[in-house]
Structures are given as C-alpha cells and as structure tokens.
Amino acid sequence: MKRDVSETLAAGPSCPIPFSDYPQVLMAHGGGGKLMNQLIEKMFLSTFKNSLLETRHDGAVFSLGNTRLAFTTDSYVIRPLFFPGGNIGELAVYGTVNDLAMCGARPRYLSAGFILEEGLPMETLWQIAQSMQRAAEKAGVQLVTGDTKVVDKGKGDGVFINTAGIGIIEYDRPIAPASVKPGDRVLLSGDIGRHGVAIMAVREGLAFETTIESDCAAVSGLVMALLEAGIEIHCLRDLTRGGLASAIVEIAEASGCSIQLEERNIPVREAVRGACEMLGLDPLYVANEGRFLAIVAPADADRALQIMRAHPLGEGASLVGRVTDDRTGLVSLKSLVGTSRVIDRLSGEQLPRIC
C-alpha cells in the first residue's frame, strides 16, 4: 500500500529554475538576506499568489464587515531560549504585536502554537508561558487560542513558538511601501543592534564591561501615539532579521523610491559598536526587536520626532534619512567621513536563529 513519495511529488508544476542552484534549504534561507528574499518570492509568493500577499507588508490588511483588520504571523526559533533582556515567550508576543503595529493596527488577539521537544523541562515551559502572559498584558493583547504539539527528542530544539495576531485598523491611512513618496522623511525610533548583539554575546560566551540587553519590547503604544496625533505616516517597518539595512532596502525596492541615509544620525551604543567590531558584524544588519522606521510626510517629521522622543521606547529617536526624487529604488548611506555607498541585502547569513 505504500505509495512512492516521488510519485506524489511528480504531480503539479516543477520547481522554479533558480532552485536548481539551491537543491536544499540552507541556514541562510532564514537569515533575512538575499536567499530568504528569493525563497519567499519564488517559493511562496508565486504559489500563494493573491493581492493581499503581494503588498509585501508585515501583515495582511483587509476588511471584514465594517471593520478593517490586520493579520500576521511569525514563528520563533531563537536560541538560547533565555537571553539578556528577554526570552522566547516575550519575543513571540512582542514580535507579532510589532508586526501588527507596523500595519498601523491596534493589536488585539493572539494565537499561540507550541512545538515542544520531548524532554523539555516543564519548569522552562512554565516560565516561558508566564512571560508570554506578562508580555501580553503589557502590550494590551489577549492570547485567545492555541495548540500544543510534541516532537521526539532530537527532532526539535526545546521549544518553537508560533504566534499569529489580529489587530484593528482604526485610522484609515494606507501604511505600506506603495505610499512612500519623494521628500518623505525616514525616522528611526532609537539605537540599533542590541538584540542581535545580546544573543550573539550569550552564544559566544562573551563578557563586556556593561551588559548588553535585547531591546525586545512592544512598540504598538508608540505607533498608536503617532497615529492618534494625526501624523501622516506613509510606511512603518520593524528592524528584525537583517536589521535596519534590510528593512530599508525592502521598502525602497517595493516602493520604487530611492532613500538616502545619514550614518551619523543612526544611534548605536558604544558597547554595541565595540561588540560588533569584535564579532565582525555591521550594526546596520543586526536584528532589533523594539526598533522601527517610520517614513512620514516631510511636514510632519518634526512633530513625529517630538512624539517619539516623549515615549519611553522612542527616547533616542532620530531623523536618519529622506526619500529622494530618484526612482531607481536604491538605498545609499552617507558615511561619517562623508563618502556614500549603496546599501544592499546581505548575500550570506549573518545571525542564524535570532528570532
């Protein structure tokens, strides 16, 4: 009765050409760079083709009845499970809450799917669940539905968590790469690189003079403050896998607008800069879990900065760039010494399993 798997595989269209170069999934396919982008484009977007998916947003935005909703999902596979400044449970709540916020939505309901590895200490799971609940309370969301699966020892890695989220869009403003216009200002909500460096430091067993903690937090409150103040936000993007550089490249590509960044305005803490040098990382590409870019109409940039700086999660906010008249969709960075270079997606993989 066993059917040959290859027989099942033979049905349907064949795999798109570029994958002949990559017969197998590599770690870099999850790293936030070029390979991941290619995988998502060729594998998933081409297969699941629909208008909602094609916006290349952090979530899908649609209307049901008279209500406009955002819907998003992320799986969390970070290791170690506990790190300075947080754990996988908090991350699973904040990450999805932030994706909803990046759609301009007020996060409301989360689902939680756990994939547990046989042998996981029950105490660890308990602590993670407790953290998730505390994070949900902080972020103003409820965990309303869930699922638990267990896989054999050696077929998982402690615990993986998926969360999906639903948020309500209360302000009717098209927040998406397509809304970005020449002249728009690029605002960054604070210093970058802490999450990735905190994780790498733990993994590598590095000790610095000061502890670098992840910036992991829910930024939805800050985003709602901007929306409530009527700031004309054109696009929002959180700076997770691939960091600030990958986020801005994605926006530039999707909008077809070029963006110029000023390195001297991008805050990086001294300890993070030092750690990056030691680890051979570029802070521009390092993951964050509580930082985002807001691309706003030029007339609203100053007011938006004031609002951000008045919020605990935006104290270090700064104007880091602007959208130029050039329509090549490229990102350039003016360095501290005044030279300019083009910013691209990472071709390899920088930090595996960072979220």
- Applying CB under 8 A, among 41, 126, 335, 340 the residue interacting with a copy of itself is 126
Complex with a copy of itself: residue 77 or 186, whichever CB lies closer: 77
Other residues' Cβ atoms within 10 Å of the Cβ of residue 203: 15
The verdict on 210 binding a copy of itself (CB under 8 A) reads yes
Apex 347 CA angle, 58 and 196, nearest 5: 60
Q: Tell me which residues in 127-166 interact with a copy of itself (CB under 8 A).
A: 127, 129-134, 136, 142-152, 154-157, 160, 162, 164, 166
Closest CA relative to residue 236, chosen from 112, 30, 45, 55? 55
The verdict on 29 binding a copy of itself (CB under 8 A) reads yes
CA atoms within 13 A on the CB side of 159: 25
Question: Distance (Å, rounded) from C-alpha 238 to C-alpha 325?
Answer: 24
Residue 34 Cβ, how far from a copy of itself at the closest point, in Å? 14
Complex with a copy of itself: residue 25 or 229, whichever CB lies closer: 25
CA–CA distance from 15 to each of 12, 18, 20, 23, 183 (Å)? 9, 8, 8, 10, 41
Complex with a copy of itself: residue 73 or 265, whichever CB lies closer: 73
Residues of 325-348 as b/e, b for ≥16 C-beta within 10 angstroms?
Answer: eeeeebbbbbeeeeeeeebebbee
The verdict on 72 binding a copy of itself (CB under 8 A) reads yes
The verdict on 74 binding a copy of itself (CB under 8 A) reads yes
Residue 295 Cβ, how far from a copy of itself at the closest point, in Å? 21
Question: Distance (Å, rounded) from C-alpha 173 to C-alpha 95?
Answer: 22
Residue 3 Cβ, how far from a copy of itself at the closest point, in Å? 5
Residue 300 Cβ, how far from a copy of itself at the closest point, in Å? 28
- Applying CB under 8 A, among 33, 87, 107, 234 the residue interacting with a copy of itself is 87
Binding window for a copy of itself (CB under 8 A); candidates: 208-216, 223-231, 285-293, 338-346: 208-216
The verdict on 3 binding a copy of itself (CB under 8 A) reads yes
The verdict on 82 binding a copy of itself (CB under 8 A) reads yes
Tokens of 318: 């700064």
CA atoms within 13 A on the CB side of 177: 22
11: exposed, middle or buried (Cβ count in 10 Å: 0-12, 13-18, 19+)? exposed
Residue 100, classed as helix, strand or coil, is: helix
Complex with a copy of itself: residue 112 or 261, whichever CB lies closer: 112
The verdict on 330 binding a copy of itself (CB under 8 A) reads no
Complex with a copy of itself: residue 38 or 332, whichever CB lies closer: 38
Q: How many residues bind a copy of itself (CB under 8 A)?
A: 110
The verdict on 84 binding a copy of itself (CB under 8 A) reads yes
The answer to whether 267 and 239 have CB atoms below 8 angstroms apart is no
Residue 83, classed as helix, strand or coil, is: strand
- Applying CB under 8 A, among 17, 24, 325, 336 the residue interacting with a copy of itself is 24
Closest CA relative to residue 95, chosen from 80, 113, 76? 76
Complex with a copy of itself: residue 16 or 183, whichever CB lies closer: 16
The verdict on 59 binding a copy of itself (CB under 8 A) reads yes
Complex with a copy of itself: residue 99 or 263, whichever CB lies closer: 99
Helices 220-228 and 301-309: angle between axes, nearest 10 degrees: 140
- Applying CB under 8 A, among 92, 101, 102, 120 the residue interacting with a copy of itself is 120
Question: Distance (Å, rounded) from C-alpha 235 to C-alpha 255?
Answer: 10
The verdict on 171 binding a copy of itself (CB under 8 A) reads no
